[in-house]
């Protein structure tokens, strides 16, 4: 197959604008699946957490054939926290399909992914998705997209973008705007044809020395570490002697490629002896033990290494440490600091946006990432694999520049009903947010845009959902560094702390009912220093949650009062991480999430408080 018959595209968009659903339909309509084949929804979201949450975390590859052309498709995440995945994906493609929701229009992540694509010189195809939704406004979306491109410094060629109207869920696209409420197209052929017409074939020289940059990593128990990347120049065959270089100034390392695969649909096609892959092909290579992200696989006699891939720096950090609570080791398989360290080092091999550092404390690692979701997804994966650990409150990564302390600023967009506007604006004002734009949609909702310190967003999501009765939408994106904005108020309530070890007793819960809301239920194990609830006041309170009712040898006449207990607050990983303060930890095990004080004994907490003061 010549490189003229290959197209490489990435599908980029804000979260929930329909990327993965559209890829499903592209695979179906290109004949990838048999007619009688049963296919799950969002087939590209293969990870359990992706399926449960309905989000894409890892960029993934597939390929379709249309009119004799092989189209490699990279499905990318929409969340800002997984921007490292998007940046890597864009280094493999020659064009992007930018999906924008026909109701919401461009959102913060749309801006982020578009900025990256335009900076690489990629020409976008704008797909206005969900045009069959009530409240759809395609004209507004196209104008907003043009304004966004202009603000991001797009060239004249990039501003002259083709527009496709589509319904990814129902599997049709059209180049002409139709009548609201009606079906505008029959299938996705117009989108396929637009891709062939506007995405250029990769212009690499087949006869030049091999140049292949590794943009993604995979692992197989049979083949070991697998590198994924696009051939820029030259020809690749199997087996083949090559050199690996981590940038132009690195020392070439001799190695041998034993296995080469290309994508066909969702499957992988293995190259046989005599078969070759050409410029433009996205390939998987194995046999190189130390293969890593960003390295260039090139010709031993005439090496042409590319610069290493650059990824935005982390903005949030947390301490991961060994679980040292009295309940440690009951549920997990991996509980030692060595096992936690090995797991974090393994994650670094494929997670480009992550950083891990040792600290002065034994068994405590400083882990930095792009945001809360980025780090909590890693924690969720670890607990499912059988790890036990404790984590601290997230902290933002500050910078020192010119004698000034700089902190990360986020661009926050909130979409809410007008009746909830006052409470949300007050909450964001308290968190040092600056309102930069307010846009009512004329249908009872309003969109607010804020620039706010990243510190101010820690713990905001739960408060926002309460303030908007669950009807608000909030999304944020890193927007740069600015001078420190001053102190931000912490959690308003104190916590209820267990004074003893044992099991929670219904009688004790009844006695604590008026003290606040509980995190635990009857029968749950607790220990001294564990947080069992939220205090209704602003101070911490030590309570007896294992107190039994004193039994006597006689009974009084009359019916005893039934104990009425409010159901406990269910702890999710995100809520727990947002809730805790600096002197608290989240204990994470495969089956449980618990909150605890860093120092379990009351006299130790008092001493630490005196020392801090």
Q: Where is the binding site for GTP, in residues?
A: 16-21, 129-132
**Whether residues 500 and 601 fall in one domain:** yes
Does any domain span residue 34? yes
Query: Which of 275-284, 303-312, 316-325 has the lowest average pLDDT?
Result: 303-312
Average pLDDT on 232-241 reads 87
Strand extents, DSSP E, 490-538: 495-498, 502-503, 516-518, 525-526, 530-535
The CA distance from 598 to 609, in Å, is 12
Residues 11 and 307: their CA atoms lie apart, in Å, by 25
Q: Are 585 and 509 members of one domain?
A: yes
3-class state of residue 197 by DSSP: helix
Give per-residue pLDDT as tens, 344-377: 988 887 677 788 999 988 889 999 988 787 888 8
Question: Are residues 182 and 82 both part of a single domain?
Answer: yes
Would you tell me how many other CB atoms lie within 10 Å of the CB of residue 558? 6
Residue 611 has pLDDT above 90, yes or no: no
Mark which of 177, 198, 219 sits at the end of a domain: 198
Label residue 289 by pLDDT band (50, 70, 90). confident
pLDDT for residue 37: 43
Burial class of residue 338 in the structure, from the number of CB atoms within 10 Å of its CB (0-12 exposed, 13-18 middle, 19+ buried):
exposed
Grade residue 56 by pLDDT with cuts at 50, 70 and 90: very low
CATH number of the domain encompassing residue 76: 3.40.50.300
Average pLDDT rounded to a whole number, residues 306-327: 86
Q: Kindly state whether residues 126 and 10 are assigned to the same domain.
A: yes
Cα separation of 476 and 481, whole Å? 15
Note the pLDDT of residue 550.
Answer: 67
- Residue 245 sits in a domain of what CATH number? 2.40.30.10
Distances (CA, A) of 270 to 12, 72, 162, 286, 291: 28, 16, 36, 11, 19
Q: Do the domain assignments include residue 369?
A: no
pLDDT of residue 55: 47
Quick: pLDDT tens for 116-143. 888 888 889 999 988 888 888 889 889 9
**In this structure, are 504 and 526 located in the same domain?**
yes
Confidence bin at 31 (pLDDT 50/70/90): low
Mark the binding-site residues, compressed into ranges.
16-21, 129-132
Domain boundary among the residues 166, 198, 230 is at 198
Same domain, 138 and 41: yes
- Both tokens of 463, joined, read 């408060």
Residue 293 covered by a domain:
yes
* pLDDT of amino acid 555: 54
Q: How many domains is the chain built from?
A: 4
Task: Read off the CATH number of the domain in which 473 is found.
Answer: 3.30.70.240
Which distant-in-sequence residues (6+ apart) come within 8 Å of 55 by Cβ? Answer: 15, 16, 45, 77, 78, 79
Enter the tokens of residue 565. Answer: 């207990």
| Residue 456 · residue 428 · CB < 8 Å | yes
Identify the H or E element spanning 77. none
Identify whether 391 is part of a domain: no
d(CA 414, CA 424): 9
Asked if the structure places residue 306 within a domain, the reply is: no
Answer whether residue 355 is part of any domain: no
Give me the domain span that covers residue 567.
495-612
Whether 276 is in a domain gets the answer: yes
Among candidate residues 267, 286, 290, the one with its CA nearest the CA of residue 219? 286
Q: CA-CA distances (angstroms) from residue 497 to 489, 506, 587?
A: 22, 17, 15
Q: What's the whole-model pTM score?
A: 0.75
Is the same domain home to 513 and 449? no
Residue 239: asked if its preceding bond is cis (omega within 30°), the reply is: yes
Among 247, 271, 298, which residue terminates a domain?
Answer: 298
pLDDT in tens, 175-224: 888 776 677 778 888 888 999 999 888 888 888 888 998 887 777 777 77
Classify each residue of 469-501 as buried b or exposed e, where b means 16 or more C-beta atoms within 10 Å of its C-beta: eeebbbbbbbbebeeebeeeeeeebbbbbbbee
160 shares its domain with 261 = no
Residue 385 pLDDT exceeds 80:
yes
Q: Return the minimum-mean-pLDDT range out of 210-219, 386-395, 579-588.
A: 210-219
Please check whether residues 38 and 68 belong to one and the same domain. yes
């Amino acid at each position: 197959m010549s490189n003229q018959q290959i197209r490489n595209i990435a599908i980029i968009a804000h979260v929930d604008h329909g990327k993965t659903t559209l890829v499903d339909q592209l695979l179906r309509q290109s004949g990838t699946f048999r007619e009688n084949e049963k296919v799950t929804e969002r087939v590209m979201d293969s990870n359990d957490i992706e399926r449960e949450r309905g989000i894409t975390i890892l960029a993934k590859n597939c390929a379709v054939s249309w009119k004799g052309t092989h189209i490699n498709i990279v499905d990318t995440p929409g969340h800002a926290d997984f921007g490292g995945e998007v940046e890597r994906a864009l280094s493999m493609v020659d064009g992007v399909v930018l999906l924008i929701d026909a109701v919401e229009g461009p959102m913060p992540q749309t801006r982020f992914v578009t900025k990256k694509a335009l900076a690489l010189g990629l020409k976008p195809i704008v797909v206005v998705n969900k045009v069959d939704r009530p409240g759809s406004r395609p004209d507004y979306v196209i104008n907003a997209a043009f304004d966004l491109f202009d603000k991001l410094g797009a060239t004249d060629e990039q501003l002259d973008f083709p527009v496709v109207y589509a319904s990814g869920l129902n599997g049709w696209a059209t180049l002409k705007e139709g009548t609201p409420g009606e079906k505008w197209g029959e299938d996705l052929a117009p989108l396929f044809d637009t891709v062939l017409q506007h995405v250029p074939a990769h212009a690499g020289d087949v006869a030049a020395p091999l140049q292949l940059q590794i943009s993604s990593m995979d692992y197989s128990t049979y083949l070991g570490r697998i590198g994924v990347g696009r051939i820029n120049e030259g020809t690749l065959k199997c087996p083949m002697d090559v050199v690996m270089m981590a940038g132009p100034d690195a020392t070439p390392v001799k190695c041998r490629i034993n296995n080469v695969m290309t994508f066909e649909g969702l499957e992988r096609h293995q190259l046989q002896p005599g078969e070759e892959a050409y410029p433009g092909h996205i390939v998987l290579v194995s046999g190189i033990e130390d293969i890593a992200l960003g390295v260039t696989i090139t010709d031993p006699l005439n090496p042409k290494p590319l610069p290493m891939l650059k990824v935005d720096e982390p903005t949030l950090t947390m301490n991961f440490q060994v679980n040292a609570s009295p309940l440690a080791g009951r549920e997990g398989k991996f509980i030692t600091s060595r096992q936690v360290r090995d797991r974090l080092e393994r994650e670094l091999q494929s997670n480009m946006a992550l950083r891990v550092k040792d600290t002065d404390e034994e068994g405590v690692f400083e882990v930095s990432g792009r945001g809360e979701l980025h780090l909590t997804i890693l924690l969720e994966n670890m607990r499912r694999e059988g790890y036990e650990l404790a984590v601290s409150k997230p902290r933002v990564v500050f910078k020192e520049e010119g004698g000034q302390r700089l902190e990360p600023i986020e661009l926050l967009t909130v979409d809410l009903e007008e009746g909830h506007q006052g409470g949300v604006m007050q909450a964001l004002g308290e968190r040092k947010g600056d309102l930069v734009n307010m846009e009512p949609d004329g249908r009872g909702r309003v969109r607010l845009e804020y620039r706010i310190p990243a510190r101010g967003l820690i713990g905001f999501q739960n408060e926002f959902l309460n303030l908007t009765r669950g009807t608000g939408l909030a999304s944020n994106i890193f927007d740069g560094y600015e001078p420190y904005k001053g102190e931000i108020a912490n959690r308003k309530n104190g916590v209820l702390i267990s004074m003893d070890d044992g099991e929670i007793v219904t009688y004790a819960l009844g006695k604590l009912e008026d003290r606040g809301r509980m995190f635990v239920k009857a029968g749950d194990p607790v220990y001294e220093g564990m947080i069992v609830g939220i205090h209704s006041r602003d101070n911490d309170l030590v309570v007896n949650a294992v107190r039994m009712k004193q039994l006597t040898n006689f009974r009084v006449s009359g019916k005893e009062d039934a104990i009425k207990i409010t159901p406990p607050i269910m702890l999710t990983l995100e809520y727990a991480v947002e809730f805790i303060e600096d002197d608290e930890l989240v204990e994470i095990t495969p089956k449980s999430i618990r909150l605890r004080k860093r120092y379990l004994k009351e006299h130790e907490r008092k001493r630490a408080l005196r020392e801090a003061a």
